[in-house]
Structures are given as C-alpha cells and as structure tokens.
Structure 1
Amino acid sequence: MLKLKKTSLILILIICLSVFLRFYKLNEIPTGFHHDEVSQAYNAFALGTTGHDRYSQSFPLLFRAFGSYQPPLYTYLSIIPIKIFGNTMFAARFVSAFFGVLIVIFTYLIIAELAKEKFKHSFALLAALMVGISPWAIHFSRRIAEANLGLALFAAAFYFFIRSLRSPRIFPLAMLLSGISTHAYYSERIIAIFFIPIYLFIFRQHYFKHIKSVIFGLVVFGLTQLPHLYLFANGAFSTRFNQVSYLGNIPEGFAGVIYIVQQFLRHILIYISPHHLFADTGSNLANAAPELGVFYGWFFIPFVIGIIAFIRRFHIPFFKLILLALPVFLISASLTGDEFYTLRILEYLWALTIIISFGAFLILEKINSKQVRLILPVMLTVFSLVLFYLSYGILYKYEAEGYAGKVYIELKDKLAPYSGKQIIVDSWRDIAIGLRIAYFEKYDANKLSAILGPQIFADYYKAEGDIQEVYKVNNMEFRPFVWKEDSGLKNTILVGDSLAISEDQVYSNKLTPLFEIKNLNGSTAIKAYTTE
C-alpha cells in the first residue's frame, strides 16, 4: 500500500510537470502563429459561430488550407476552447497541449499494463517522465499539431488494445479510437492499417478465442473509414500525399522500382540516424528546438542500452510489439520527399522514448544506492529543462519569427488607430496575414466566406485554387501589391517588407513613412506608408 501511494504521488508530480511544460505561457511561446495554425484556429471559430468554415462549407470532412487540406478532427475539437477562451493562441493550441498531457498519462498506463510485475511501476514512471520532458513531445504539444492529437489517440487505442487482453469486450473501443485517429493526421491512416494486423498476429492465440469481439471491432473500424472512401472518390483523400511524396516523379519501368526502393531506404536510414535524433535538426515548424535534437544528447547512452535490451527480449510480446511497430511508424514519412520531418514520425519518437526509458531503467537498476537512484533522474530532469529553456524559450523565438508571422500579430494593434482609412497589406511572402487578422479580430465568418468562397476554382474537395487569396477584413485588404493600381490610390496606407516596398518605390510614388515594426534582432521587418 505504501509503495502504491509513493507511485501515485510520483505520477501526479510527473503529470503536473507535464501540464506546466505544455501550458505555461502557451499564448506567447512558441512565438508567432504559423499559417497552418491560424487556418485551424479560424475554421474552428467559424464553425462555432456559423456552422461552416471560411469558404462557407458546412462541417467539412477535410478543411481547405492554402492549396492543401487539413484533417478535420483537431479543428472540430478546437471549437470548445475557442468558445471558452476567445480568439487567442492559447485557445487554438489548447487541444494539442491537453492531448500532450494525455500522451504522458497513457504512456504510464501502457507500461504498467504490459511490463512485468517486479519493475512495471518504476519503468512506467520513468517512461512517463521521459516522454513528459522530451523536446519533441513538448514542442508539438505547444503548437497546433494534428500529429500530436493523432499520437494521443493512437496511445489511447494502444492502451485499450492491451487492456482487451484481460477484457476482450474492450477490443471494439480500441478499434474505434484507432479509426478516429485516422481523422486526426494523415500518417495515422498508414499506421492503423499496418499496426492492427501486427498486433493481432502477435496475440493471435488470445483473439482466436474471442473472434466475435474481433469481428465487431473490425466492423467499427470500417465504419470510421467511410468518410475516407467518400474523399477518395472525390480526389481529396490523396491530395496532401501527392504534394509531399516523391512518387509523382519516378522513372518508368524497372528504373522506377529501383528509384522508389533507394529513396525509401535512404529516408529510413535518415530517420534512424543518431545524428538526426540526438543533434540539432533545425528550428522549422516540423522539427523541435534550435541546438537540440528531438532528444537530449544524454538520451543516447540509454538509447543504445535500451535497443540491445529490447532485441534480447524479442521473445516477450511487449518488446516484440514495440520493435515490430518501429518500421511501421516510419512508412509514411519515408514515402515523402522531406529529409527529416519530425511531425510525421511522432509515434516512432514515442516508441523510441519508451526504449530509451527502459535503457535508463536498466542503468538505474545497476546503482545500489537508493538515494542516487532518486537524485540522478531529478538532476538529469533539471539539466534537460534548463537546456530546453535556453533553446526553446530564448533561441527559438529569434529563429522562428521569420516564418511564424510574429510581426503581423503586432501589426493588428498598430493599424487599430487607422480604422477610417483604406489599408492594403502585401501578402506575397506570408499568405496567412489576412487570416491572422481575421482570427484575432473575430471577423464575421459569413462576411469572410463571401470573399473567399468565389476564389475557389472548382469543387471544395478539389485542390484547385490560388494559394495567394485576397482577404478583406473591415477596412483592410491583404494581397500582393499591384503597383500600377495601388500607387494611384489616395489617402491609403500601404504595408509591406523591404521587398514589397523598395526605396525607389517610396521615392517614385511619393509615399510618406507612417510607422515600422522591427524584428527581435532590431532589423526592420515591415513598414507602413501613406499615399498622397
């Protein structure tokens, strides 16, 4: 009983730490509001107020977003927090942060359910802690990331799959969650198709005895896939894959087969490379934090020990399931052209974290002193979080502000005093400026859809359309400049960066400087001018 209370207390502390790391200053960090984020956020706001998205499509199965499509689940779940907290970045990111905490909880539950009695709680606590503090897990829980929601649903399904070994009636629930996860992120579609057969094969002797539950579960899963069949018939199902995959440019004949195999294996090798896992992978949206890998450098030693330990225990179902699932988690990402796209491999990183945790557990088991076994994880946790703060809390905002649209969030307040003037903001290098302003201004979705709807050139579920859309919000218009027309406008404010409004254009069009907004490094980001 005393041991159980101690375990519960430590788990509560880990959950509290995970909540803090995911919700603290969520409205400010990460800096800016990426165009993928604001697309989800405004559509959720529009659905909550009008029942349709920004193109006037009622309750879509996929959401159009700047020439592509976004899976629907995150947007629908965001309706409630945006209703409660208003049109803020905190509200828009709430779902990701909340489900990021659930990932930590389900990690503990899965290990505690599967692992052997003698060490299951210690291993489970360590796994929950390491998922809770890992750079990849914090990063994707702090921004709108459908993949993070997908991972949480997968982890929940994983847990109920394991629980169904004790209670077969739960199996359909696991299949339901697995099916729903395919509406959260594209990678989940491939993962579900491959993972479920592997799981059933490993535990086939058990499920042969409960075939009715299996059949019912398969029917439930099939029903969740019906929207995908509709989208497949309309062509929207594979649009995103066609945009990011290298399969559209393959040579003909046998050379094409060789090309696909080479590309696939090359990507697999990249994703298993220690350099990409434990060193700096860049700071763009799809990766983690600058000067850090998706894991901390010190994770490498327990990673090696954990891999060896898992291989040696391959005959045990739990270890076999995790190892066989690893390549499945990489299939989707390895079919795309990006060199290392962390967002598409969250299940893989989650599974690796479990392996790393087991390696760390084995190291701690070799230490005789109980005090050292307690103090060492605490010290490494503090050390890791200091590294993460320096990277994510300080460096990241400088590296991310260029593509996250931070200055255009500030622009909203700068333009507020000029409500009586016509304003044109150049959107050539940031297609989401108008949508950001519309979201923060709570601009009527009926009015915006009347502007955007006619700009779709085909059926809603066809990807045809201009990625450079024209937005009009109150007295503000967001589009690329057309100087032959815009230079002749009277008493108008023009806003753009130095490429949009050059010194020659200022001089030749007799523009008067109004204000400027600077980057964090002090350089000028955008300027505003008035025409005569």
Structure 2
Amino acid sequence: MNNNMEKRFVKIALGCILLIAVFFRFYKFPSVPPSLNWDEAAFGYNAYSVLKTGKDEFGKFLPVYFRSLDDYKLPVYAYLTVGSIAVFGYNDFSVRFPSAFFGVLTVLSLFFLVKGLCALGQNATINKQSTINNERIPLLSSFLLAILPWHIQFSRMAAEANVGLFFITLGATLFLYGMKHRPGLLLLSVLSFGLATYSYLSFRVLAPMLGLVLTLLYWKDLRKVNKNDLVRFIVAAGFFGTILIGDTLFYNVHIRVKGTSVFSTQQALDIYKQKEKEMFYDAKLGINLPRRLFHDNTVFTSADIVLKGYFTHFSPAFLFFDYDEKQHHTPFVGLCFLWMLPFIPLGLYYLVQKSDKREAIYIILWILIAPIPASITWDIPHAIRVLGMTIPLMIITAHGVFCVYDFLREKRIPVHIFMGIFGFVICLSSYYYVHQYILHIPYERSKDWVYGRKEMTEYLMKNKSSYDRIVVSSALEWPYIFMLYYSKYDPALYSKQGGTKSGGWGEEGNTYDIFEFHKFSLDDFSKKRTLFVGLPKEFSPTIDPLYRINYLDGTPAIYIAQGNIKTP
C-alpha cells in the first residue's frame, strides 16, 4: 500500500469513527435519557430568557455567571444554549445539542492530539513507520472514546463538563501544532484552555495545570518559535491566568464548592472529633510530641480524607461496574467497558517503554491531576467531576491494545485471531450497552431522571383556570424551574412578577402567577379552590388524588389533589 493510499485509508477510518460517534450520541436523541434534570431545565429556561429579554431568571442583564438553583453556572454552556435555541427552537433537543455536538468534536480533536504527541516524539519508534502505523494509536484512541459509555452518557445530556473537555483537548492539540507548524495557533490554544475554565468548575484546576505541564515539557521546542509569537503566547497565558485568579479569589460565585466540601460533612466532623479524643488521651498520658504532630494537627487528618476521596476515582468498582450514581451510569454497565481493564496496565507499560518520554509524562500527569478537584468534595466518586480522566484513559487503553498486538507479531502468532476476538468483544459490548441505555434507562431509572415534571406542568397549565392557588411541593426538587421551562413561561412577564427570589435547595419563597412552591400539611387541604402537587408520601392515605403521574416502570411519581373547591 503506497503512502497516498495509506493516507486515504486513515481519512476513511477517521470518517467512520466520527459516524460511530454521531450514532452513539444522537440515536434516540434527546428522548433518552427520558427527561431533563433540574440543571438542564435551568440552562434551557435561562437561555430562553436571555434570548428573549437579555436577562436571566434573576433579572441580571447578560450575566457572566448564571445564578441558578444553589449554584452559579459558568457562562460557556449557557450561551451555547442561547445559540442552540435561536437555531433549533425552544425544546429539549436545543438544550442538549451543544453537549452532543462538542462530544463528537472531542472524538475528532483527540485524534489530532494523539497524532501531535506522537509526531513530537524524539525517540519514539512509531515515527519511523508507515502512515497507518504512525496513526494507529490516534485512530484507536478516538474510536475508544467514540464508544465509551462514560463519554456518551454525558454527551447525551446538557453537561458543562463535556463542552469543557472539548476545549481542554482542543487547547492541548492547538499548542502542539502551533509549536511545530503554525505559531499563531498558540494564541488559540490559550483561548481554548481559557474557555475550558469558564465551562466547568473542576476544569479551573485541570485546564491551567495541563497547559502549564505542556509548556514545561516542551519548553525547548517552544523556545524555537518566533520571538514575537512566543511573547504573545506568554502574555495571553498570563492575562487569562490573572483573570482566573481574580475570579476565584474575589467573586463570591463558587457556592457549590462550599456546599460540596468534604470538610463540612458529618463523616469528616466525626473524624476530627475522634482526633480530639485521641489528643486528650495522649495528653493524659503525658505523650506530647505524637499528640502535637498527629492529633493536634488538622493537616494529617484533612490529607487522609482527601486522599481517600482521590483514590476512590481509580476504583474498579467505580470505573467498570454499575455504581451508585444511577443518573450517571447505565444498568449493569460501567463508565468504561470491563474488557478495557487488562489493557490499562499494559498500556501504561507500553506508553513508558515505547513512546516519547514527554508524551508518557503528559498522559500520566493528566490522569493523576484530573481527580484532584473532585477529591475535596463529599459526593464521591463523581463521574462528571472527573470526566477529564476519559482522555488519558482512552490513550492508555489504545497503547495497551497495541502492546498485545505487537507482542503477538513479534512472537509470530497470527494477529488476525486476536483482532477477530477483539472486534467481536467490542461489537457485543457496544450492542449490550446500547440495549441497556436505550431500553432500560427509561424504564429502570426514570425516577433518577426526575421523570414526570413535564407531565405535571402540562396538566397544571391545562387546568389552572379552575383554581385560585396551586401549591407545588418543594420536595419535588426545584419544581419552579421545571414549570417555567416546560410551560415556556414568558420571561418578561416572569421578571415583572418578581422573577426568582432564591434558587436554593428546598427554597419556599418563589411564586409566580397562581403557583406557590413550598411544602404543605394536611390542614392546608381545607382551603378552597386550591390544588396541591407533591410526592406520594406527602399525601395522607385519606386523600384521594385527583391525578396521578407514574414513573415509566409504573411506580407512583407525583400526586395532584384538590382542597375544598366548593364554589361561592
């Protein structure tokens, strides 16, 4: 096969990989998952509000940070959703489209990232081989990401992290190609890393650190760039870094960080109390040095808590099996396919032994840095907070596959048998995943996806003229944002009625039109012309619901009952 034919083959293979990525991300899209979660509804309504009025639900004009629910959302996904709604209309497709679209682009970007890393290798034997061999690991890395359950699941929902992951991957790719071919791309690399930091909170740690590691590893090559281009790159990086540090230190927008801090959990407090007991016990015994060093020092205790959280993200139970995060996992399928497990240690070996050392260091540091932001939060392990692990994991897995392939070739063992088995396992596991995801997530996990809010809103909007008040329980988890979103409530009218007063968890002060959002008691049912909406457990057995909404597995989801509606 001559060089031109090899290049054509690579292009065809990459095109097929992208088609596979599109299939997995857009088949039955956006109907699976079966409903939007509260963050998706918030993105949708705020984007709609900005498009119509220029303001968010709190009345802030073109905000940099979107106050939403109990958090401040970063702007990149929010404004992408504004554009998506402007193009495709106000619907679930538009809300989820940016994530799916950038998910496909991440697959493409990964190919060029790995190709760039391989091309810069000074001692890597891969560069001395044919075009196909030179691009086999980039192609396989992209293919593995295209079929990876972890990446697919977040591509099919409105996930800020998924868009941020694209910008991180693109930023690293632009850096490598800018350094070797077109120095002007270095500025775009800084911009891409910067956009990643304004896409998802965890990437405010990951993106700058990966950019810094790249710069340090390839500094000798970077110094060969035209001096003016190098100065512009350094100034741009410093500018974005200064803005990011200022945002982090002086803007009180990272409520979610405080709310999810592992140090504020009961488990952490219990550990600190136990350390206090040990300190007093040592003091009674007159043991001073160990007491001061180990017990009267929160550094060791805090480090122990953080390290435990950090290493849970490398647990096989989390990565390869259906874990407790039901909204982030597919029934009986892990974030990664189980068959990938043996290739990861082999890939690490192959990466270190056969690849350029700088490439190996970068990939290994990437996977080690990615869980750091999540390790200080209580809800761990958390699939979306460590989505950045997917890129190095797939690169390592691809190296592992070719470790086996090259070993078989060296031993003159027919590789077609291995490739046949490998292909069969991939097809079987992918088919099983699609079956579980498309058919079983809606049926088994509609509760985890807060199904029923759309049906609730449609019923209430259809029948609201018969009532003076409609009380929707805050136990339904931010019901106000679902109702605003699904009813397409006029943002200008909503703002005129006061807008959102607070989006905190369990907030009971929000009202609009005839809707009130707070919990209710049995005594409230004596009120005339009032409708009550809540979870089944909130209603007394003596109250017969007027309307029931079930989850897709048939279990009760939402009850709607009326108070005394005697007409005057």
TM-score for the superposition, normalised by structure 1: 0.90
1:178 alignment partner in structure 2: 193
Q: Which of residues 73, 76, 92 in structure 2 aligns to 1:73?
A: 76
1:499 alignment partner in structure 2: 537
1:405 alignment partner in structure 2: 450
Could you tell me how far 1:212 is from its partner in structure 2? Answer: 4.1
Matches of 1:454 and 1:107, distance apart in 2: 41
Mean CA deviation greater in 406-415 or 186-195:
406-415
Mean CA deviation greater in 292-301 or 522-531:
522-531
1:316 alignment partner in structure 2: 357
What 5-or-longer segments of structure 2 have no aligned partner? 119-125, 277-291
Q: How does 1:440-451 map to 2 (within 5 A)?
A: 440-451=486-497
1:201 to 2:240 alignment: no
SS in 1 for 2:334: coil
Matches of 2:299 and 2:65, distance apart in 1: 32
Could you tell me how far 1:101 is from its partner in structure 2? Answer: 0.3
Q: Which of residues 330, 333, 347 in structure 2 aligns to 1:289?
A: 330
Q: Which of residues 300, 303, 316 in structure 2 aligns to 1:274?
A: 316
1:136 to 2:150 alignment: yes
Could you tell me how far 1:388 is from its partner in structure 2? Answer: 1.1
2:122 alignment partner in structure 1: none
Report the residue type matching 1:178 in the other structure. Answer: F
Q: How does 1:426-505 map to 2 (within 5 A)?
A: 426-451=472-497, 453=499, 455-456=501-502, 467-472=506-511, 474-481=513-520, 484=523, 486-504=524-542
1:9 alignment partner in structure 2: 12
CA shift digits 1:450-476 (9 cap, x unpaired): 4454724xxxxxxx9674255556554
Q: Which of residues 37, 51, 61 in structure 1 aligns to 2:40?
A: 37
Matches of 2:177 and 2:418, distance apart in 1: 30
1:113 alignment partner in structure 2: 116
SS in 2 for 1:495: strand
The alpha-carbon distance between structure 1 residues 416 and 95, as it changes in their structure 2 partners (threshold 3 A), is same
Q: How does 1:1-400 map to 2 (within 5 A)?
A: 1-115=4-118, 116-117=126-127, 118=129, 119-167=133-181, 168-210=183-225, 212-224=228-240, 228=244, 231-232=247-248, 234-247=250-263, 255-285=297-327, 287-313=328-354, 316-365=357-406, 366=408, 372=417, 375-400=420-445
Report the residue type matching 1:529 in the other structure. Answer: A
Report the residue type matching 1:327 in the other structure. Answer: L
Matches of 1:166 and 1:358, distance apart in 2: 24
Matches of 1:163 and 1:438, distance apart in 2: 46
2:72–2:254 CA contact under 8 A, matched in 1: no
Matches of 2:456 and 2:43, distance apart in 1: 21
Could you tell me how far 1:136 is from its partner in structure 2? Answer: 0.3
Kindly name which structure, 1 or 2, has the bigger radius of gyration based on alpha carbons.
Answer: 2
The alpha-carbon distance between structure 1 residues 222 and 45, as it changes in their structure 2 partners (threshold 3 A), is farther
Mean CA deviation greater in 262-271 or 417-426:
417-426
1:283–1:290 CA contact under 8 A, matched in 2: no
1:279–1:297 CA contact under 8 A, matched in 2: yes
2:545–2:562 CA contact under 8 A, matched in 1: yes
What 5-or-longer segments of structure 1 have no aligned partner? 457-463, 507-511
Mean CA deviation greater in 267-276 or 225-234:
225-234
Report the residue type matching 1:60 in the other structure. Answer: P
The alpha-carbon distance between structure 1 residues 227 and 92, as it changes in their structure 2 partners (threshold 3 A), is farther
Matches of 2:260 and 2:457, distance apart in 1: 33
Mean CA deviation greater in 20-29 or 141-150:
20-29
1:407–1:519 CA contact under 8 A, matched in 2: yes
1:417 alignment partner in structure 2: 462
Identity of aligned residues (%): 25
RMSD of the TM alignment (CA)? Answer: 2.6
Report the residue type matching 1:312 in the other structure. Answer: Q
Runs of 4+ in 1 over 6 A off after TM superposition: none
CA shift digits 1:100-158 (9 cap, x unpaired): 00110011111222223332322111111100011101001011111111100000001
Matches of 2:18 and 2:229, distance apart in 1: 33
TM-score for the superposition, normalised by structure 2: 0.84
Matches of 2:486 and 2:73, distance apart in 1: 21
Mean CA deviation greater in 380-389 or 222-231:
222-231
